[in-house]
Structure 1
Amino acid sequence: MNNPLIRKLQQFTKLSSDERQVLEQVAAEGVRQLGTREDIIREGDKPQALNLILSGWACRYKHLEDGRRQIIAFFLPGDLCDNHVFVLREMDHSVGTLTPVTFAQIPRRRIDEITLEYPRVTQALWWESLVNTAIQREWTVSLGQRDALERMAHLLCELFLRLRSVGLTQENRCELPLTQSELADAMGLSTVHVNRTLQELRAANLIVLKGRTLTIPDLDALQSAGQFNPNYLHLEHEGRHLDANE
């Protein structure tokens, strides 16, 4: 199964072969590629399509007038960049790439067709939307209450589990292509503070960072350091009662 959206939605419920096929088809339409630090859609643009990340990393962000940036979310393979974006007259934030990205632009009519014809897919997309909202709540808690080490540990746990859910980890390792500046923009810290926090995690043998690869020697220990409870990711096949028989 190559389509990361299907992998992701099947964390919620088992899809039928017809449902998987239509999602494969829609992900193969309107495929585009962008390089690093390019915008998929900008604040002020009128959204015309739903963007599905197929490979690479992107982020949702806001710029202040003086140029400062806040990263509000990370988008990984299988993520939809807001599946209800069509209700907006114009974008109130931007979505940009952090690495080279391949993504599918899915027209609204295709989404409407799929959700009308395949109610199980509709339920799974609602789950995906609710998980994204839960992730945003956890980020708010981190910014408001967790200290720097807890924020970093929590974020790394989250990214690892999200990547694992779409088959993009190898044992206790995953890709981590984020710069310290990008981590700082996401966590409300300075780059100096991010560097110091990463060093603390390394010294405690909670993480190993080599190039773009993150290794987590003991996931339970890292979760404890970040006061991380994975329940908000809802990865326990909560839609099993909707499972397809085929």
Structure 2
Amino acid sequence: MKQLAEDVLGKRLARLSELTESDMLALRASSLGSIRSMDARSDLIREGDPTRAVFLIVSGWAARYKMLEDGRRQTVALLLPGDLCDLNNNFLSEMDHSIGTLTPVRYVEISHRVVERLSQEYPRIATALWIQLLATVSIQREWVVNIGQRTALERIGHLFCELCVRLQLVGLANTSGFDMPITQQDIADAAGLTSVHINRTLKEMRAQHLIVLENRSVKIPDFDALAQASLFTPAYLHLRPASQSSPAPPGLGLTAP
């Protein structure tokens, strides 16, 4: 079972940086930690808690979210298998948001010590971890644009396109669609819309033959058509080998100054 976590992380990082065989072997021997399980609708960690580790989602879906004092909730990121949650925790002492499960989740808590050691000893792994962190910030910017400027149809379509691309990285989707084990309210929390508005917009998208919803899955008859209707381009996900972009500055690791 332990091997699975290291393979999930290696597969994810290999899409961000050109890892060598020795890098992959280092990940497999890195003792990330034991795989744990948590039921749906539970918090992995809450706002205000001390930061204790970097979370690797092995299976299931989770969300990064903020809760207002009156109970209103805004999802600021959806976390999928292979995602590393909050690499910046290496530098911060307290959580400024919560991470909660949307489905049953299997995860690993990777200690800051392990992250620091891997980044110091293996430069390509360090590069991949930095790209992961910077891509997370890039996705956050895109979500701000999504909520601030896109129409309801564009918001939902853009989200579906993003989920489809990200799930393809771990073999859980193709351009024809993906399983979606979350509710319309979860989509509403991510898109900044009401569940009633989500329901109405999904009907509109089905009428335009952009999506088909069946058995808790999203079918996409024509991915290019959905991407065009949603103003989606995947560049902000930064899913290319590091060799195709500028190299990381010398000595850049994930250890605190």
Question: What's the TM-score bracket when you normalise by the shorter of the two chains?
Answer: over 0.9
Aligned 8 A contact 2:18 2:242 in 1:
no
Matched with 1:21 is 25
Shift of 1:198: 0.7
| Residue aligned with 1:84, SS | helix
| Residue aligned with 2:103, SS | coil
Distance 1:160 1:31 in 2: 25
Matched with 2:65 is 61
- The reply to whether residue 212 of structure 1 matches residue 216 of structure 2 is yes
Unaligned 5+ segments in structure 1 are none
Matched with 1:232 is 236
Distance 2:177 2:233 in 1: 20
Shift of 1:25: 4.0
Unaligned 5+ segments in structure 2 are 248-257
Matched ranges for 1:25-44 at <5 A: 25-26=29-30, 29-44=33-48
TM-score normalised by L of structure 2 = 0.89
**Amino acid in structure 2 at the alignment position of 1:95:** I
Distance 1:25 1:206 in 2: 44
Distance 1:206 1:172 in 2: 11
**Amino acid in structure 2 at the alignment position of 1:106:** I
Shift of 1:86: 2.7
Match of 1:181 among 181, 185, 198: 185
Distance 2:205 2:137 in 1: 28
Identity value in percent: 48
Aligned 8 A contact 2:179 2:217 in 1:
yes
Match of 1:75 among 57, 74, 79: 79
Aligned 8 A contact 1:153 1:225 in 2:
yes
C-alpha RMSD of matched pairs (Å): 1.7
**Amino acid in structure 2 at the alignment position of 1:228:** F
Distance 2:26 2:43 in 1: 28
- Cα-to-partner distance string for 1:85-116 (whole Å, 9 max, x where unaligned): 13222111100000010111111111111111
- Cα-to-partner distance string for 1:3-33 (whole Å, 9 max, x where unaligned): 3322222122231223213323447523211
Question: Which stretch has the larger CA shift, 184-193 or 206-215?
Answer: 206-215
